[in-house]
């Protein structure tokens, strides 16, 4: 037997990387410019992808050619194309070219910005890029920023800081330190589910979230917020924080932040503003008034990965009291001590290692410039208003919410002939039947592969949602969406009655 050590496996083959890397950049450029050649939604069933791939990892390494073949053959046909300009579901997003290049660099550089010294560039670029964004949003310097992956995590940190501010003993001793007194968080009944998840995760309990009723335009009613806080205080609970939303998920409604901020000031409560989707429009003079009062918040979340052309994921968290966030999370084991006196990103949250996300925000802001970004946002809002106008003018359509930004909520309500809801012999006698009609309408529109719309429920009714937000979406795409809706509705209402 030989004593020779086993041959070390070959390191990465950089020649092959270079060759395939160039090809992949071509592929990505074709993809970004031509995502329309794919259906927005794939025609696959659950389990198809899994079954098409081997059950175990290969024992021997494979070539890039073989791997990329499978990427094209198995994965691409099973992708939902968020980069398709006909993607109007949820909130439409964009992986813009500068953002994609930044992600490539970020992966190659593999920075772990937990401490300043483990990546001075990533640590300081985060401060710079978030400072630029803060200025564009018109927020005062008192807001320090940090990047998390998603708004859900930003909101979790906001509420953890709120808890630290009002009940610091919980960090050491847990909720039992409060002697049975419950903490309370308030959000509107339209607030995002991430608020509820945060209170679950923080151990406050789901019941600690008070869902304040909204007015007819889905905005929190401040007088009911005040009443809820006072009732809770009388019952011995400890009001802790309010989450106001600018741009709620279903309808993009805007809570009256100024009135809510006044109540928070008076009641000494942490105000967190969830502007995950709509926050970027604070850059627009035409939208500024919707943000009145948000500068009084303790914390704010804005997601560049939603409507700032930044590839998923990147959530910007701004806080007036980052010292409290640090107090809530800072924990430095001996192996991470540093004596340079610099600020370390690991102190501002749960996560130790931090990705170099700032690079993509920085590159996106530089590539488009503030005026380029403003122009795209204005255009998206114009397209949404155009679509809303078509809905409003159609006798068989109903719009269910105002359109402050780029989302239109609507449904079909046939009023003519045999399709008339409530008419004798109608196939749509009530809201349940109309829900079914709209469900089928949505399915038919999405089956076209040209556009994708999602849905929500408002006042218990099924509502279709069109969200404009992709960089390459034009009036032609919105027009096509409207045509598909019209054709699908005509086909459904022309069907003979069952």
- In the complex, the residues that contact ligand PLP under the rule CB under 6 A are 91, 150-152, 192, 194, 245, 247-249, 274, 276-277, 303, 315
- The encoded tokens of residue 27 equal 């592929």
**56-61: long-range pairs with CB below 8 Å, 24+:** 61/9
Cβ 404 to ligand PLP shortest distance, Å: 13
Residues 6+ apart with CB under 8 A from 140: 295
Q: How far is the CB of 257 from ligand PLP (least distance, A)?
A: 13
| Residue placing its CB nearer to ligand PLP in the complex, 88 or 428 | 88
Cβ neighbours of residue 74 closer than 8 Å, sequence gap 6 or more:
49, 52, 53
Q: Which is nearer to ligand PLP, 220 or 437 (CB)?
A: 220
* β-sheet bridge partners, residue 241: 185, 270
CB nearer to ligand PLP: pick between 150 and 344: 150
Contact 401, 253 (CB under 8 A): yes
- Least distance between ligand PLP and beta carbon 407 (Å): 10
Closest approach, Cβ 371 to ligand PLP, in A, equals: 26
Pairing verdict, β 299-302 and 315-319: antiparallel
Residues 6+ apart with CB under 8 A from 384: 403, 405, 406, 407, 408, 466, 467, 468
Residue with tokens 């399915």: 443
Q: Which is nearer to ligand PLP, 348 or 493 (CB)?
A: 348
**CA 43 vs CA 73, 81, 399, 435, 441: distances in Å:** 14, 12, 30, 24, 18
User: Which lies closer to ligand PLP via its Cβ, residue 86 or residue 304?
Assistant: 304
Q: How far is the CB of 379 from ligand PLP (least distance, A)?
A: 21
Specify the pairing of strand 270-274 against strand 238-245.
Answer: parallel
- Nearer Cβ to ligand PLP (96/251): 251
The smaller minimum CB distance to ligand PLP, of residues 184 and 272, is found at 272
Q: Which residues of 39-54 are buried (b: 16+ CB within 10 A; e: fewer)?
A: bbbbeeeeeeeeeeee
To 5 degrees, how large is the angle CA 454–CA 411–CA 85? 40
Least distance (Å) between residue 307 CB and ligand PLP: 10
Q: Could you give the 3-state DSSP secondary structure of residue 396?
A: coil
Give the Cα separation of 52 and 63 in Å (integer): 19
| Cβ proximity to ligand PLP, 360 vs 484, nearer residue | 360
Cα gap 124→110, rounded to integer Å: 16
As measured in angstroms, the least distance from the Cβ of 381 to ligand PLP is 17
Give burial (CB, 10 Å; 0-12/13-18/19+) of 139: buried
Report the residue number, 274 or 435, with the smaller CB distance to ligand PLP: 274
Kind of pairing between the strands at 238-245 and 299-302: unpaired
Least Cβ distance, residue 150 to ligand PLP (angstroms): 3
Q: Report the C-alpha gap between 252 and 409 in whole angstroms.
A: 10
Q: Minimum distance between the CB of residue 252 and ligand PLP, rounded to whole angstroms? A: 8
User: Is the sign of the CA dihedral 150, 156, 157, 162 positive or negative?
Assistant: positive
Which residues are registered as beta bridge partners of 317?
146, 301
Q: Which CB atom, from 350 or from 476, has the smaller least distance to ligand PLP?
A: 350
Identity of the residue, 106 or 155, whose beta carbon is nearer to ligand PLP in the bound complex: 155
Min dist CB 281 to ligand PLP, Å, is 13
Shortest separation between residue 360's beta carbon and ligand PLP, angstroms:
15
């Amino acid at each position: 037997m030989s004593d020779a050590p086993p041959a070390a496996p070959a390191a990465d083959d950089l020649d092959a990387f270079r060759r395939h890397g160039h090809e992949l950049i071509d592929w990505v450029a074709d993809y970004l410019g031509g995502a329309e050649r794919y259906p927005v939604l794939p025609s696959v069933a659950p389990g198809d992808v899994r079954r098409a791939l081997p059950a175990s990892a290969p024992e021997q390494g494979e070539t890039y050619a073989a791997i990329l073949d499978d990427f094209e053959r198995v994965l691409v046909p099973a992708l939902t194309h968020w980069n398709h300009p006909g993607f109007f579901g949820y909130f439409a997003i964009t992986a813009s070219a500068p953002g994609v290049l930044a992600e490539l660099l970020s992966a190659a550089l593999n920075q772990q910005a937990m401490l300043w010294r483990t990546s001075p560039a990533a640590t300081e670029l985060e401060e710079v890029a978030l400072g630029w964004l803060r200025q564009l949003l018109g927020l005062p310097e008192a807001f320090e920023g940090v990047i998390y992956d998603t708004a859900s995590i930003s909101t979790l940190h906001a509420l953890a800081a709120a808890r630290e501010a009002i009940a610091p003993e919980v960090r050491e001793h847990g909720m039992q330190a409060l002697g049975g007194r419950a903490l309370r968080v308030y959000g509107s009944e339209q607030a995002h589910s991430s608020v509820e998840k945060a209170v679950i995760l923080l151990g406050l309990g789901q019941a600690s979230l008070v869902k304040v009723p909204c007015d007819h335009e889905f905005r929190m009613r401040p007088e009911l917020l005040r009443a809820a806080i006072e009732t809770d205080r009388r019952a011995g609970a400890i009001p802790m924080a309010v989450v106001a939303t600018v741009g709620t998920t279903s309808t993009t409604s805007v809570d009256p932040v100024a009135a809510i901020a006044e109540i928070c000031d008076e009641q000494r409560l942490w105000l967190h503003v969830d502007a995950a989707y709509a926050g970027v429009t604070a850059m627009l003079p035409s939208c500024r008034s919707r943000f009145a009062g948000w500068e009084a918040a303790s914390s704010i979340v804005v997601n560049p990965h939603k409507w700032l052309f930044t590839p998923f994921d990147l959530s910007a968290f701004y806080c007036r009291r980052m010292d409290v966030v640090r107090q809530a999370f800072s924990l430095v084991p001996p192996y991470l001590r540093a004596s340079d006196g610099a600020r370390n990103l690991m102190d501002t949250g749960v996560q130790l290692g931090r990705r170099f996300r700032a690079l993509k925000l920085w590159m996106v802001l530089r590539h488009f410039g503030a005026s380029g970004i403003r122009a795209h946002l204005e255009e998206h809002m114009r397209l949404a208003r155009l679509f809303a106008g078509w809905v409003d003018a159609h006798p068989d359509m109903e719009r269910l919410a105002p359109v402050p930004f780029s989302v239109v909520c609507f449904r079909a309500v046939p009023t003519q002939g045999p399709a008339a809801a409530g008419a004798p012999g109608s196939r749509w006698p009530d809201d349940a039947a109309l829900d079914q009609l709209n469900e089928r309408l949505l399915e038919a529109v999405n089956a076209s592969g040209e556009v994708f719309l999602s849905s929500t429920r408002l006042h218990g009714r099924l509502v279709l949602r069109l969200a404009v937000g992709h960089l390459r979406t034009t009036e032609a795409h919105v027009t096509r969406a409207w045509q598909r809706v019209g054709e699908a509705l005509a086909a459904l209402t022309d069907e003979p009655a069952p």
